[in-house]
Structure 1
Amino acid sequence: MLSTEKSNVSETAFSVNGRDYSPPRVPIAVILIDGCADEYLSISLAKNQMPKLAKMLENGHRSFVRGALPSFTNVNNSAIVSGVPPRHTGIGGNYIIDPETGAEVMTNSSKFLRTETILAAAANAGRKVAMVTAKDKLRELLSKNMEGIAFSAEKADEVTLDVNGIDNIESHVGPKPEIYSPDASLYALKSGVYLIATGQADFCYLTLTDYMQHKYAPEALESLAFYRDIDEQIGKLLDLGCVVAATADHGMNAKCDADGNPNVVFLETELTKQFGEGITVICPITDPYVVHHGALGSAVTVYLPDSVNQAEVADWILNLQGITEVHGKETAESKLELPADRIGDLFVLSARDYVIGRTPAHHDLSQLEGQLRSHGGRYEEMVPMVLSHPLNDTYFKRSQGDPRNFDIFDFACNGVVLPDSGR
């Protein structure tokens, strides 16, 4: 492996979506640890499973940040690479009713992203940008208008120079991993290490998958082993002289009763019984990875026919066991920062240990592996942020307020204090 030289790294500032970024003249690696509730880090650190991270935090920074609602993957990854909330990105769920066509669709295409990205702007400013995802569903969405390297671990065997900016990645990182495995996330990290070490990238976004967090609680031996492996790759990035910044798109909680049975409110079924036909519930957690969660999360949107009274329906939903919040479209846009045209008439959130579904027929729980663990609501909104370097006074004060996970590139580019940098 080759070492990266500061002289080869651009420090040209750039602006995108109303924010200015002044990246230091060293490689930057921003890691999205999908599903990483802070407990995963805390328990792994307490059990000495993450020595590289522990060493990093002696001089670096660790705090909480608030993610975007609903706390789902496409929503938060889009916000993070744009630096702005879903109201601006237009991505308010993994799955929506497209207001232009009326069709139920997944938001895996960049055509749904209404903003430009930090990654594309950094590339235009002269940085060597790489975006490696575990899940292929994010690859094209997040690499909108980006000149550089973009590929997924899931389809590492299909990369081409024309489409992905690189070819034959398997000969350097290894054969493509199984997506339902810890290896999918580790492959994304290993790819980032390879690209930075060989000088092919100096501005990386490495976004993982939450298969392990869906399957295992923080204290499980499998979780500890997984975070130990993540720690090893973080150590390699640090050895390469990177500014390392990590956060999560959402946390993760068990959604079960005391006996381990799923706590599910089949909202479309209940609404049809109470108010008649014509009501549609959309589960914005829906994506191709049904083994993770069975399309059951803690937030849904509700589309109402003109024949029903919205306020009456909202009040009725709020009185259901397991439901904690019901917002109208205008409130969801102004208070929760959601794109009003893509969320239906009502936006509904559930309790910490509940999920919301459509009807039993829409969810095949037999595909779940073990106890139902999921996300999407308030109780998965707070996530960790760690940085390899201390923060300057301005950004330290911001970290003690209400920082957001989509501020992570801002903190990594503008907030860290490097040795002998004068910053």
Structure 2
Amino acid sequence: MYLSTTDYVQHKHAPGTPEANAFYAMMDNYFKRYHEAGTIVAITADHGMNAKTDAIGRPNILFLQDLLDARYGAQHTRVLLPITAPYVVHHGALGSYATVYLRDAVPQRDAIDFLTGMAGVEAVLTRTQASQRFELPEDRIGDPVVIAERLTVMGTSADKHDLSGLTVPLRSHGGVSEQKVPLIFNRKLASLDNPGRLRNFDIIDIALNQLA
């Protein structure tokens, strides 16, 4: 049986806060009941989460489309954010990964240098580099790909993001700083066929085939 929850609580409440503690206490009670019933339980996450604010809790946001439009003019670039969703009350459709499509008039090298020089940007990769590093289909991403550092998120244009629902300091994901996630099992691992780096999607094989 595969069960999935939303990440609403993690977006709204940092670890160790009363709200987060209450949520995990509830989940732990369910896990305990499964364990006591003899079930193999495997727990992981699809991504990590970080605060995306300055020292006093204000969001650190790079509105990439606005910045690119100011440099190259409107309609010469297009910024896409994979975190974009209709349910924005917990993250404002802001994340730490963005892909940019450049029209012919925009030199790729100049765009990469411009984006790399922005405060809050951790890395700017070409399409090929991003495809190899993140195992993405090269024909389905833009060029370049922008990764924000741990405390920064990216948006398209300021008027495209409704931040009225952000009643607590912004928390989001999408960068390399949110890649590490836990793999938790309630039974002993018998053996691992591949003892190298494990990733979250390995959890199904381990739970089904490698737990004692």
> Into which bin does the TM-score normalised by the smaller protein fall?
over 0.9
1:290 alignment partner, SS class: coil
- After the TM superposition, which parts of structure 1 deviate over 3 Å for at least 4 consecutive aligned residues? none
User: Relative CO higher for 1 or 2, CA cutoff 8 Å, sep ≥ 6?
Assistant: 2
Q: Who is 2:143 aligned against?
A: 345
Unaligned ranges ≥5, structure 2: none
CA distance in 1 between counterparts of 2:192 and 2:31 reads 26
Q: Who is 2:209 aligned against?
A: 414
Q: CA deviation at 1:394?
A: 2.7
Matches within 5 A, 1:261-300: 261-277=58-74, 278-300=76-98
Answering whether residue 28 of structure 2 is matched by residue 231 of structure 1, we say yes
TM-score (structure 2 length as normaliser) = 0.96
1:217 to 7, 10, 14: 14
Letter in 2 for 1:385: L
Answering whether residue 109 of structure 2 is matched by residue 311 of structure 1, we say yes
Matches within 5 A, 1:169-208: 204-208=1-5
CA distance in 2 between counterparts of 1:231 and 1:259 reads 32
CA distance in 2 between counterparts of 1:236 and 1:330 reads 47
Letter in 2 for 1:237: Y
1:402 alignment partner, SS class: coil
Q: Tell me the percent identity.
A: 46
Flag the structure with higher helix content: 1
Q: CA deviation at 1:239?
A: 2.5
Q: Who is 1:402 aligned against?
A: 197
Q: Who is 1:244 aligned against?
A: 41
Answering whether residue 150 of structure 2 is matched by residue 355 of structure 1, we say no
2:183 alignment partner, SS class: strand
CA distance in 2 between counterparts of 1:330 and 1:267 reads 21
1:306 alignment partner, SS class: coil
1:301 alignment partner, SS class: strand
Q: Who is 2:166 aligned against?
A: 368
Q: CA deviation at 1:210?
A: 0.9
Answering whether residue 116 of structure 2 is matched by residue 321 of structure 1, we say no
CA RMSD of aligned residues (A): 1.2
Q: CA deviation at 1:240?
A: 2.5
Unaligned ranges ≥5, structure 1: 1-203, 418-423
Alignment coverage as a number of residue pairs: 211
Matches within 5 A, 1:90-105: none
2:134 to 325, 329, 336: 336
CA distance in 2 between counterparts of 1:269 and 1:337 reads 29
CA distance in 1 between counterparts of 2:49 and 2:133 reads 23
1:352 alignment partner, SS class: coil
Matches within 5 A, 1:111-126: none
TM-score (structure 1 length as normaliser) = 0.49
Q: Who is 1:117 aligned against?
A: none
